[in-house]
Amino acid sequence: MDQLIFYKNTFINKEIAFILNIPYQYTDTLERNDPEKKLFVSEKKDQKKLEKMNYKASIDFYTIDNLYDYLEQFSRKYETHNRTEFYRDLESINMIPNYLLSLPEMLIKVLYSKPKDIECTILEREANIDIYGNVWGCCPTWISKSFGNVFYEDDFYNNYYARMVKLSSINKTFCFCNLNMCKYFERDYKKLSTKDIQLNSLEVPEQLTLSIDRTCNLRCNSCRREFYRPSEEEKQESLLISNILKEKGWLNKSCLLIGGQGEAFFSPTYLKILKDDEIFGKTIKIMSNGILFTKEMWNLLERKYKEIYVAISIDAASKETYLKLRHGNFDILMKNLEMLGELRKQGKIVSYQFNYVIQKDNIHEVLDFIHLAKRLHVDILQFTKLNDWSTTSKEEYNENSLLDGDCLSYELYTLLQDPLFQDEMVNIESFDTYMKNSNKKYKNGEANE
């Protein structure tokens, strides 16, 4: 990788130092958001002014333009869509989709966007790898700038792009996040002071989500129209990604989350990882549909991991509904869920979670599902709204989702008032904003549905 040479006593802002992964100096008076101090590296003509501010001026100064130019050159090597003349003000940069931003544009965006009062450190601690080998700091649908790609870069976790994205979490601008997708949807943000931010970056993510294979034994209506069977090339590609991660040591050093895409116990790639005796660690989190989660699979996990977290996506409390929504065998599922419930009771599973996407065809058995989860020693019962993955027409989605614009349908609104939703195991956070809007809409008996 190219090196940017900094001379001794160069004036440099600590956020830039973080992005470039170099030690920084004189950071106390060069702060953000002050027009005078926007120059994180002084122009030569400002030397005298800086001397008056008690800086021991050196003979070498970098200007912000030097750095933009350097980053521009660097991005040209890796990106095909560079603009010859790049934008330098936030307003014009905000009109460019995040995934098209060049490094200098990212730099401006991350330094000058408004901080938000969001308590989220996922970008600083986690990584999520998709089927193409892209490395993301969060769910790929929630963030629109990746850290890098395992096939194209040696350093796909701490390069300049990755550090810019991480900085957006450290300085709380979250400017590469799609906040209308994740749970921080439409919060009221207050202005924050980021004076004491800590600029650190991990060598290896604390948690690594593997979403590198879509192969699954089911075809749930909300996820796909047909069974997904990968081509030989796709199979090889996901195996290659897992080999790269294994060589890097990530599969042993990070807490593994398997099943972000595809089924943990059906995908050949995930099974290979689970069966590989050289891959082991302290913690594993399994997200599964449960159909293939047998005692044999449990033994495999128990042999290699001390802490095992289990999350099962179900969406039904009866055979008929399960068949209709997930096209799977409810009897087999129940047998495995009972076995896992017993393991949770014995304290062998750290946390047992059930997931349920509330929609038109399963709303009638939501309360039965809560009783089922209680009987099976479940710790977390996560209810979520139906997302639109374009598997149905827009009209069908609107009908199935039980959402009415920014509000809940009256049927769903009244259901969520049931005292069972107050149980501490139940999580309906994904409906928070809709609930707030619905309270306004339906208050004083306005609803006449």
DSSP assignment letter at 408: E
Size of the site for ligand SF4 (CB under 6 A): 21
Sorted by sequence, the CB contacts under 8 Å of residue 236 that are 6+ apart come out as none
363, 386 contact by CB (below 8 A): no
Site map (CB under 6 A) of ligand SF4, residues 71-110, x = contact: ----------------------------------------
Chosen residue from 98, 128, 159, 289 binding ligand SF4 by CB under 6 A: 289
| Ramachandran class of 384: left when φ > 0, alpha when ψ lies in -120 to 50, beta otherwise | beta
Q: Using CB under 6 A, which residues numbered 307 to 326 contact ligand SF4?
A: 313
Q: Using CB under 6 A, which residues numbered 184 to 213 contact ligand SF4?
A: 184
What minimum distance in Å lies between the beta carbon of 24 and ligand SF4?
Answer: 25
The window from 105-113, 119-127, 367-375, 393-401 that contacts ligand SF4 (CB under 6 A) reads 119-127
Please, which residue, 19 or 223, has the CB nearer to ligand SF4? 223
Count helices and strands (H / E) in the chain: 17, 12
DSSP output for 349-393: SSEEEEEEE--TTTGGGHHHHHHHHHHTT-SEEEEEPPP--SSS-
Q: How many CA atoms lie within 13 A of 385 on its CB side?
A: 27
Q: Using CB under 6 A, which residues numbered 159 to 178 contact ligand SF4?
A: 174, 177
Our finding on whether 142 is near ligand SF4 (CB under 6 A) is: yes
Our finding on whether 219 is near ligand SF4 (CB under 6 A) is: yes
Our finding on whether 337 is near ligand SF4 (CB under 6 A) is: no
CA 54/CA 48 separation, integer angstroms = 10
Please, which residue, 135 or 216, has the CB nearer to ligand SF4? 216
CA 63/CA 88 separation, integer angstroms = 14
Please, which residue, 74 or 285, has the CB nearer to ligand SF4? 285
3-class DSSP state for residue 2?
coil
- Report residue 415: phi and psi, to 5°: -60, -45
Chosen residue from 64, 111, 216, 314 binding ligand SF4 by CB under 6 A: 216
Residue spans of alpha helices (H) in 146-267: 160-170, 232-248, 250-253
Site map (CB under 6 A) of ligand SF4, residues 233-262, x = contact: -----------------------------x
**Residues that bind ligand SF4 in the complex, under the rule CB under 6 A:** 118, 120, 122-123, 138, 142-143, 174, 177, 182, 184, 216, 218-220, 223-224, 262-263, 289, 313
